[in-house]
Amino acid sequence: MIHVKPIKFYDTKSGSLRLFEPVTPGVATIYSCGPTVYNYAHIGNFRNFVFVDVLRRTLRLFGYNIKHVRNITDIDDKIIRKAVEENTTVQAIAAQFESAFFQDCDYLRLQKVEYNPRATEHIVDMIDLVKVLIEKGYTYERDGSVYYKIGRFENYGKLSHIDLSSVRSGARVDSDEYLKEDARDFVLWKGRREHEPYWPAPFGEGRPGWHLECSAMSRHYLGPTFDIHTGAEDLIFPHHENEIAQSEAANGVEYVRYWLHCAFLNMKDQKMSKSLGNIITARKLREDGIDGLAVRYFLLSVHYRKPLAFSMEAIESARTAVNRLQTFYSRIASAAASQSKRQEQDSADPLTRIRSDWYDALGDDLNTAKALGVLFEMLREYNTRMDMDRVDSVLAGELLSFLDEADSILDVMRPDSEDELSSKIDDMIVKRQAARLARDFREADRIRDELSQMGIVLEDTREGVRWRKI
């Protein structure tokens, strides 16, 4: 018996909220467009990856098993250009920035994804796909390159709702610098060029076009039809539209059931993008000592389909909010660990309502902004009750268990564990408490100052002494 909680997603193709019903009950198959590893990813890129992280964590919490692919694009025009600029190899550039990407993922506490295939490891699958398209007559060759003939694909434009008649042939610059019959066509396989990596193929040596890898790798890992495809909204056209054209022409079945797209992160009122030069990398924030959890919270604080403006003020305000949540979490955790008896019975405990509001918010197209609101209502409610001694350890245990569920999505409440350091700090705190009891405040303050030198701030509270890093 499979038991999952209902969840709705806004699907770009239908333009509406739809109840999620996967191909296989209880299992969600997901493909996410991953990074092109030619540079450090900026936090606009990471808004998208944090959104994907929330998606997979929510599906897990809602009872689904998930099979999730996020590709690494390690062969591409920009990587080649970068390798030339740096006078090194494509592989070296790709390896460097792939490893940087995973470090940045840790900084933002992104969960590991089940499959992280590199494009260059699936050239064979791409060649197979092109072969099928050639056999079915969806292609033509020109100067050793293979192109996809959009005119052959009946439903072209159904994702982006683009009117093909408005995209006139020859009206635009061919930025690929390859020769196409029709401006709308796109390249599947780029014929070999001097000083560029290439692979052998029945239709000629060369390298894959941009869209090919996602169609090939998703089919390899997830099959011809899978449940959810994610990306940022600029990928709707042409990238995802072209994936549909490739995959549905080759496989003859529906490619993706739910298309989810994330809105941009803006700087002032403009999108953050490398070409505009207004980017901030995750790496830069980390080097500046900005807490990754504050950044994560900031990215979660607005619904993923709404534009979000970056500012340091917003990050600071997120930092303060995260602090409050962490304080609340540790207050509940100590109450749960204590043996306190309830002073008064509460007939109308709101936990059930809070929990159900939380699930409703996430089940409504991943509304993290609303879910956070629910969490802060809970915070105020139970802080008041604890001030009145109306929370015993049993109730606190239930609250803690819910907070753990909530944090299985947010992942901002529980601090990183630092065992060696924290046991030393705990020793010093015990000594200071002894000094305070003996009213030796000079010694107590000396210990506090020493901890302060180590970057540790103490807080004397009703539930005992807490510490945190600054």
Instruction: Report the nearest approach of RNA to the CB of residue 2 (Å).
Output: 28
The secondary structure of 1-53 as a DSSP string is -------EEEETTTTEEEE---SSTTEEEEEE---BSSSPPBHHHHHHHHHHH
CB of 89 to RNA, least distance (A): 20
The CA distance from 426 to 438, in Å, is 19
Instruction: Provide the phi-psi class of 67: left if phi over 0, else alpha when psi is between -120 and 50, else beta.
Output: beta
Total binding residues toward RNA, as defined by CB under 7 A: 87
Alpha helices in 202-311 (DSSP H): 212-222, 241-251, 282-287, 292-300
- Residue span 221-260 as binding mask against RNA, x where in contact by CB under 7 A, dash where not: ----------xxxxxxxxx---------------------
Q: Is the CB of residue 444 less than 8 Å from the CB of residue 436?
A: yes
Does 396 participate in binding RNA (rule CB under 7 A)? Answer: no
Among 302, 354, 396, 399, binds RNA (CB under 7 A): 302
Q: Which stretch binds RNA (CB under 7 A): 80-88, 98-106, 116-124, 301-309?
A: 301-309
| Dihedral pair phi/psi, residue 271, rounded to 5° | -65, 145
Does 301 bind RNA (CB under 7 A)? Our answer is yes
Taking the complex as a whole, the smallest distance from the CB of residue 253 to RNA amounts, in Å, to 25
The CB-of-66 to RNA minimum distance in angstroms stands at 21
User: Does the protein bind RNA through residue 334 (CB under 7 A)?
Assistant: no
Our finding on whether 407 is near RNA (CB under 7 A) is no
The continuous run of DSSP H or E covering 465 comes out as strand 464-469
- The reply to whether 431 sits near RNA by the rule CB under 7 A is no
Nearer to RNA, 269 or 287 (CB): 269
Question: What torsion, rounded to 10 degrees, do the Cα atoms 194, 200, 204, 208 define?
Answer: -80
Interface with RNA includes 380 (CB under 7 A)? Answer: yes
Should residue 387 be labelled a site residue for RNA when binding is judged by CB under 7 A? Answer: yes
What is the pattern of x (binds RNA, CB under 7 A) and - over residues 174-213? Answer: -xx------x--------------------------x---
Q: Does 323 bind RNA (CB under 7 A)?
A: yes
Q: How far is CA 315 from the centre of its chain?
A: 18
Cβ contact 3:250 at 8 Å: no
**In the window 36-75, what residues touch RNA (CB under 7 A)?**
36, 42, 44-45, 47-48
Q: Does 270 bind RNA (CB under 7 A)?
A: yes
CA 428 to chain CA centroid, Å, is 39
User: Residues 18, 303, 353, 424: which binds RNA (CB under 7 A)?
Assistant: 303
Q: Is 14 in the site for RNA (CB under 7 A)?
A: no
In sequence order, what are the residues at sequence separation of 6 or more whose Cβ sits closer than 8 angstroms to the Cβ of residue 165? Answer: none
Residues 141-170 touching RNA, rule: CB under 7 A, are 160-163, 166-167
DSSP H or E segment with residue 68: strand 65-70
**What is the rounded CA–CA span in Å between residue 441 and residue 81?**
64
The one segment of 90-98, 125-133, 280-288, 451-459 that binds RNA by CB under 7 A: 451-459
